[in-house]
Amino acid sequence: MELKTARLTVLIDPSKKEAFEELCRSQDMTPSQVVRRLIRDYMSEQMAAAAPRKRAAAPARKRSR
- Can you give the pTM of this predicted structure? 0.71
Question: What was the pLDDT predicted at 31?
Answer: 97
Q: How many alpha carbons fall within 13 Å on the CB side of residue 39?
A: 8
The per-residue pLDDT for range 7-43, each reduced to its tens digit, is 999 999 999 999 999 999 999 999 999 999 999 999 9
C-alpha pair distances (Å), 55 with each of 13, 31, 41: 41, 36, 22
Question: What was the pLDDT predicted at 58?
Answer: 63
DSSP labels, 14-54: HHHHHHHHHHHHHTT--HHHHHHHHHHHHHHHHHHHHHHHH
Q: How many Å apart are CA 55 and CA 52, to the nearest integer?
A: 5
Question: What was the pLDDT predicted at 41?
Answer: 97
Question: What was the pLDDT predicted at 1?
Answer: 62
The per-residue pLDDT for range 47-61, each reduced to its tens digit, is 999 887 776 666 666
